[in-house]
Structure 1
Amino acid sequence: MTDHIIIGGGVIGLTLAYSLACQNESVLVLERGTCGQETSRAAAGMLATDIELREELHALAARSRRLYPLLARRLERETGIDCGYREQPFLLKRNGREYVFPSVGQIDPRRLTTALMSALRKRGVSIEEQVDVTRICENEDTVRIESNEGEWTGRTVTVAAGRGSQALLATAGISIATYGVKGECLAVRLAGEPLPSILFDDSVYLVPKADGRILIGATELPYDETVGVRVAGVMSLLQAAEQLYPPIRDAVIEEVWSGIRPQTESGLPYLGVADSSRRIFLATGHHRHGILLAPVTAEILANTLRLIQKEEVR
Structure 2
Amino acid sequence: MTKSSEVAVVGGGIIGSAIAYYLAKAGHQVELLEAGKVGSGSTQAAAGMLGAHSEFKEFGASLYSFARTSQAMYEEAETDIRSLTGIDIERRTGGLMQLVFNEEEKEMLLSQFSSLKGVTWLDCPTVTKKMPGLSKSVLGAFHMAEDVHVTPEIACRGFHTAASMLGARINAYTSVDEIVKESDHYRLRTSKGEWQAERVVIASGVWSNALLQRSGLGTPIFPVKGECIAVTNTQTPLTCSLFHDQHYIVPRNNNELIIGATKIKNDWSTEPTLGGLQTIVEKARKMLPEVDKMPFRRSWAGLRPQTSDGKPLIGEHPEMKGLFIAAGHQRNGILLAPATGKMICDLIGSNVVPEEWKEAFRVDRLNTGEEVLM
Q: TM-score, normalised by structure 1?
A: 0.94
C-alpha deviations, 1:201-254, integer Å up to 9, x for none? Answer: 115200111221111011010010112111111111111111111111111111
Asked whether the 8 Å contact 2:91–2:151 carries over to 1, the reply is yes
Give the structure with the higher percent strand. 1
- CA distance in structure 2 between the partners assigned to 1:117 and 1:300 by the alignment: 17
Matches within 5 A, 1:1-314: 1-52=4-55, 53-55=58-60, 56-93=62-99, 96-97=105-106, 98-202=141-245, 204-307=247-350
Of 216-225 and 174-183, deviating more is 174-183
Name the SS for the 1:62 alignment partner. Answer: helix
Radius of gyration: which is bigger? 2
**How far off is 1:176 after superposition?**
4.3
User: CA 1:139/1:173 → structure 2, altered by over 3 Å: closer, same or farther?
Assistant: farther
RMSD: 1.6
Moved more, 64-73 or 43-52: 43-52
Query: Offset at 1:186?
Result: 1.1
Shift of 1:305: 0.9
3-state secondary structure, aligned to 1:186? strand
- Residues in 1 aligned to 2:54 and 2:330: alpha-carbon distance in whole angstroms: 16
Runs of 4+ in 1 over 3 A off after TM superposition: none
Residue matched to 2:113: none
Per-residue deviation, 1:114: 2.0
Contact 1:78 1:119 in 2 (8 A): yes
- 1:101 to partner: Cα distance: 2.2
Residue deviations 1:117-153 (CA, integer Å, cap 9, x gap):
3223323321112222111111331111112221101
Are the equivalent residues in 1 in contact too, given 2:11–2:205 (CA < 8 A)?
Answer: yes
Distance 2:230 2:236 in 1: 17
CA distance in 2, matches of 1:20, 1:102: 30
Helix, strand or coil for the counterpart of 1:104? coil
Q: Percent identity?
A: 30
Return 100-109 or 214-223, whichever deviates more: 100-109
- 2:164 partner amino acid: R
- Counterpart-to-counterpart distance in 1, 2:270 and 2:332: 21
Contact 1:145 1:153 in 2 (8 A): yes
CA separation of 1:193 and 1:117: change in aligned 2, threshold 3 A: same
Q: Which runs of 5+ in 1 are unaligned?
A: 309-314
Residues 75 and 116 in structure 1, CA contact (< 8 A), matched pair in contact too? yes
Q: Distance in 2 between matches of 1:269 and 1:299?
A: 15
285-294 or 45-54, which moves further after superposition? Answer: 45-54
Q: Which amino acid aligns with 1:144?
A: R
Map of 2:110 onto structure 1: none
More displaced stretch, 51-60 vs 106-115: 51-60
Q: 1:176, 1:282 → 2: CA distance?
A: 13
Contact 2:311-2:329 within 8 A present in 1 as well: yes
Instruction: Give distance in 2, aligned partners of 1:21 and 1:238.
Output: 42
Deviation at 1:261, TM superposition (A): 0.8
Partner SS, residue 87 of structure 1: coil
> What secondary structure does 2:95 align onto?
strand
CA 1:83–1:74 in structure 2 vs 1: closer, same or farther (change >3 Å)? same
Residue type at the aligned position of 1:18? Y
Give the TM-score, by structure 2 length: 0.79
Task: Give structure 2 stretches of 5+ with no counterpart.
Answer: 107-140, 352-374
CA displacement, residues 145-186 of structure 1 (integer Å, 9 cap, x when unaligned): 112221101110000001111111222333341111100111
Partner of 1:312: none
Greater Cα shift, 294-303 or 111-120: 111-120
Please tell me whether the aligned partners of residues 203 and 240 of structure 1 are also in contact (alpha carbons under 8 angstroms).
no
Letter in 1 for 2:43: S
**Alpha-carbon separation, structure 1, partners of 2:146 and 2:216:** 45
SS in 2 for 1:5: strand
Mean Cα displacement is larger for which, 167-176 or 278-287?
Answer: 167-176
Contact map agreement 2:52 2:68 (CA 8 A) in 1: no
CA contact (8 A) 2:22 2:163 kept: no
Deviation (angstroms), 1:77: 1.0
- Contact kept in structure 1, 2:96 and 2:241, CA below 8 Å: yes
For residues 101 and 50 of structure 1, the distance between their equivalents in structure 2, rounded to whole angstroms, comes to: 7
Moved more, 173-182 or 57-66: 173-182
